[in-house]
Structure 1
Amino acid sequence: MTERPALPAPLSAVLAIDEEFPSPTILDSRRLTGANWWSDQPGAVLEVRNANGNDRRALERWPREVRVLCDALAWPHGAPNAQPHGALSVCFLTAPLDGLMTATTVAEQAWVRAEVWVRSQDGDAEATAWLSTSLSAVIDALRARYETERAPLSAACAVVASAAQRGCSWQLDDDIVSIGSGVHGLSWPLTSVPAVEQLPWYTVSDVPVVLVTGSNGKTTTTRLVAAMWRAAGKTAGLSCSDGVYVHDDRGTRELASGDYTGPAGARLVLRDRAVQAAVLETARGGMLRRGLATSRARAAVITNISADHFGEYGVESLGDLARVKATVARILEPTALLVLNADDEHLRALGAALEREHAHAVAWFSRDAEHPLVQRGVQLHGYAAVVCAGHLLLAEHGVWGDLGAVQDMPMTLNGLAPHNVENALAASLTASVAGVPYAAVHAALRNFGGSTHDNAGRMHRVVLGNVTVLVDYAHNPDGMRVLGATAMAIPAARRLLVLGQAGNRDDAQLVALAQAAWASARYDRVFLKEMPEMLRGRAPGEVTQVLRSALLEAGAPPDAISAWPSELEAVRAALAWAQPGDLLVLPTHAQKEAVDALLGGLQAQGWRAGEPL
């Protein structure tokens, strides 16, 4: 016998969404303030638990209930959709920008009504009576909520609408509305937005905006594209997993420190009046939680697709992940190109679908100079990047140019880091289609990676006397395989790996990470690191135990594995273990700044293996 959902609480409690959801099957309800996986319009998304057969009928009913409520609010409702994704289902509806909080309530109330409708179809008289008597009260409450929400946003939404009509970008959060971007942008607190007719529209436009997403290589590609803009003489703003920065010929200004790959970091860059070009690392989580921060971009790149974060927000497969990453294409300017990796099978499929649907034109990069997608892309659009005979070649307007030997580019570690060759291809092509001159692309490739500050924490080689340390951000199986291949290309007497992972990956992903690490290189020791800052629901020691078991299953000797209570302590233990000629491989995540400070201090004092730390 299937369990019936409980009837909703009294209406006053149902609408108190700040306290709890009105149905126990609701897992999450949130607003999306920009283009997103489901639409190029803002809206609301509801996640519900798949528990029994009633869920399917409720999912099918939910769009109808949404349309009834949206019609009562006089909202255009597009095509609300509800789809099952493994253990949960995801329901989405578009909504006006001034009613997104109300839209989350619409989504929740529609779901409650859909669940109760299922009961009514099964002959529950109480459910039938509730459906017929509650609708007017629900609508009245939603109308009141919408009026309260829209009042302080009316001026901001008028400015946004006018900006969109004029082909300018906009950004809106809980406190500030902006139009245009960088040196050509204007911003106001929501409490003091001027009337549309009072704005100096002749001063408002957009700086070039580049979005960088993918599974691996995002931060390196973001930093390199920004370096190419700087080589072109532009003040470049960038947001990435390490912070938000503005770079010009006088140096670097840090606007924020930490992981800023979501909308908050993007808005910091776009609202800075010094910025002449913006490069925004754009992570999956921010797109799924809030949507994109801005409404317009000059170029976008997806570096690659790798298994990670499955089971979150309805993402269950590599195909799902590719489509989520493709959200960046929703805000591309009409003549812009989406840059994709022709060597990634999931991006080949994505590119084919986008072109088949006439959604976006694609420019391809590849390590294979003869790749048919590259050749076709040059014929159609004139742009591509490849490796040929050890040189990086870039096509612009159908003409190929030589950007130099790969082994002469510092970021490739003399050609030993193959994934950074791929990142160089991605950045060069993306910068080119965004408008960076060829000479500036060339100049940046000759220099980027030569300084320890260019790409901190990403395949960063530190020589401490007679010990080599390789610092990277590898955090999924593909990243770990690339890191291992690079480690094997560097001569060493012995090799040690520090290994750990955040707790929001399931056991299968932890096992895959450990297996990839052990299979990709011959490590003499593996130091497992606990990361208390990143347990994310796991018990202390749980992640390291799963990794240890997976390493043993993969063939690692028990005496080669040890565990340490923090990332920094594992790194210190690795340095204490080191002997002359050793290579220490250190993927750092939780305590990057502390690890960088330790390594920098040891390098400055001329530390050598065997000396005290």
Structure 2
Amino acid sequence: MIPRAVSKNGYAVLNAEDPLVYKMKELVDGRVVCFSMDENNPTIKRRAERGRVSCVYENGYVTILKGKWKVRVEKASNIPLTYGGRAEFMIQNVLAATLACFVHGISIEDIRVGLTTFNAGTAQTPGRLNFIEVGSCTVLMDYAHNPAGFSGLVNFISKLPNKYRTVVINVPGDRRNDDIREMGEIAGNNFDRIVIRAGHYLRGRDASDIAALIQEGINRTGKEPQVRIIPESRDAIQHAIKYARKGELVVTLADIVPDDISHVQEIRDQILKKQQATEV
């Protein structure tokens, strides 16, 4: 468990909104600092009264708190990683990173510059909210491989304008059966088309067993999205893109991140070449 590895001179940055995470403070030899999407979170308020440092999302700003002292670092909508403040799970990541930097002595101005110049692209954050325009659709790659991460991703894409949505889904084999079913349920509730692939990280399971559990989750929803099982990653991604409607959002829950990026870019380039050939 990571908090156990914090040295006596170090800091553990914990999510105050999750009781199980916050309880990890008992395992920390060093110091504990917390973040929250709510400045009125009871844990944050209690720690502020004791003069402890926290980072919160406050009136649209990433804000450092210490006792009664408050300083706004930057407006979330100005931070590229948050996609205009729409990606709440990215705001949480920004809060944690801001806090880690602040307690290690980095100035507010330097933190602000870092936040406003760091972009979520395949070069800087591979596999984390990577958008690529491919033909007439948009591909979004993200490494969301548990129900909490997938729910956060779905919350984000629900704010996007795309009318149609497809997901290429796989789940690592070391997840619990209920977790795998829940991944399928989230997919069934939020996507028109679902492509189930085997994925690389089977971790002792049979790919068909994982696919069956995902299908069970989809069936729980009572909805009838189009479902295809295509084991090979490139074939699964290519199928999703090939049959995408104009303006569709194709989400891939990244498997081997460099490979997925390469597959999508290769398919994009092939489509571009065909378009250019027809224009000559």
Which residue pairs with 1:552 in the alignment?
219
What is the Cα deviation at residue 582 of structure 1? 0.4
Which residue pairs with 2:44 in the alignment?
374
Which residue pairs with 1:530 in the alignment?
198
Runs of 4+ with deviation above 6 angstroms: 608-612
What is the Cα deviation at residue 540 of structure 1? 4.0
Check the 8 A contact 1:382/1:398 in 2, yes or no: no
Residue of 177, 181, 205 corresponding to 1:507:
177
Distance, in Å, in 2 between the alignment partners of 1:492 and 1:611 is 26
Which residue pairs with 2:20 in the alignment?
346
Which residue pairs with 2:74 in the alignment?
404
Q: Which is greater in Rg?
A: 1
Residues 485, 609 of structure 1: alpha-carbon distance in 2 compared, 3 angstrom cutoff: farther
Instruction: Give the match's secondary structure for 1:505.
Output: coil
Check the 8 A contact 1:530/1:540 in 2, yes or no: yes
Check the 8 A contact 1:514/1:551 in 2, yes or no: yes
| Letter paired with 1:583 | L
Which residue pairs with 1:326 in the alignment?
3
Residues 535, 364 of structure 1: alpha-carbon distance in 2 compared, 3 angstrom cutoff: closer
Distance, in Å, in 2 between the alignment partners of 1:409 and 1:608 is 34
| Letter paired with 1:345 | P
What is the Cα deviation at residue 565 of structure 1? 1.6
Which residue pairs with 1:594 in the alignment?
259
**Alignment size in residue pairs:** 277
What is the RMSD computed on CA atoms of the aligned residues?
A: 2.7
| Most deviating of 474-483 and 462-471 | 462-471
Distance, in Å, in 1 between the alignment partners of 2:227 and 2:61 is 41
Residues 362, 609 of structure 1: alpha-carbon distance in 2 compared, 3 angstrom cutoff: farther
Residue of 572, 577, 585 corresponding to 2:243:
577
What is the Cα deviation at residue 384 of structure 1? 1.3
Q: How does 1:210-609 map to 2 (within 5 A)?
A: 324-329=1-6, 331-333=7-9, 336-351=10-25, 353=26, 359-395=29-65, 399-449=69-119, 451-519=121-189, 521=190, 523-531=191-199, 533-557=200-224, 560-589=226-255, 591-603=256-268, 607=272
Give the gaps of 5 or more residues in structure 1. Answer: 1-323
| Letter paired with 2:208 | G
| Most deviating of 399-408 and 389-398 | 389-398
Distance, in Å, in 1 between the alignment partners of 2:79 and 2:56 is 15
Check the 8 A contact 2:144/2:253 in 1, yes or no: yes
> Deviation string for 1:526-575 (max 9, x for gaps)?
100112x3222223422112211221122242x61110022221111111
Check the 8 A contact 2:79/2:116 in 1, yes or no: yes
Residues 602, 560 of structure 1: alpha-carbon distance in 2 compared, 3 angstrom cutoff: closer
Distance, in Å, in 1 between the alignment partners of 2:70 and 2:46 is 14
What is the Cα deviation at residue 604 of structure 1? 5.8
Residues 465, 524 of structure 1: alpha-carbon distance in 2 compared, 3 angstrom cutoff: same
Residues 343, 609 of structure 1: alpha-carbon distance in 2 compared, 3 angstrom cutoff: farther
> Deviation string for 1:339-396 (max 9, x for gaps)?
2111112123333x469xxx55421111112223223334435421111111111236
> Deviation string for 1:290-339 (max 9, x for gaps)?
xxxxxxxxxxxxxxxxxxxxxxxxxxxxxxxxxx343233x342xx4322
Distance, in Å, in 2 between the alignment partners of 1:537 and 1:610 is 43
Check the 8 A contact 2:192/2:226 in 1, yes or no: yes
Q: Percent identity?
A: 23
Check the 8 A contact 2:121/2:129 in 1, yes or no: no
Distance, in Å, in 2 between the alignment partners of 1:465 and 1:401 is 44
Check the 8 A contact 1:478/1:516 in 2, yes or no: no
The TM-score normalised by the length of structure 2 is: 0.88
Distance, in Å, in 1 between the alignment partners of 2:201 and 2:111 is 37
Instruction: Give the match's secondary structure for 2:73.
Output: strand
| Letter paired with 2:262 | A
> Deviation string for 1:394-424 (max 9, x for gaps)?
2369742222211111101111211000000
Distance, in Å, in 1 between the alignment partners of 2:228 and 2:267 is 24
Distance, in Å, in 2 between the alignment partners of 1:457 and 1:450 is 9
Check the 8 A contact 1:396/1:432 in 2, yes or no: no
> Deviation string for 1:35-79 (max 9, x for gaps)?
xxxxxxxxxxxxxxxxxxxxxxxxxxxxxxxxxxxxxxxxxxxxx
Check the 8 A contact 2:50/2:67 in 1, yes or no: no
Residues 345, 401 of structure 1: alpha-carbon distance in 2 compared, 3 angstrom cutoff: same
| Letter paired with 1:341 | N
Residues 561, 332 of structure 1: alpha-carbon distance in 2 compared, 3 angstrom cutoff: farther
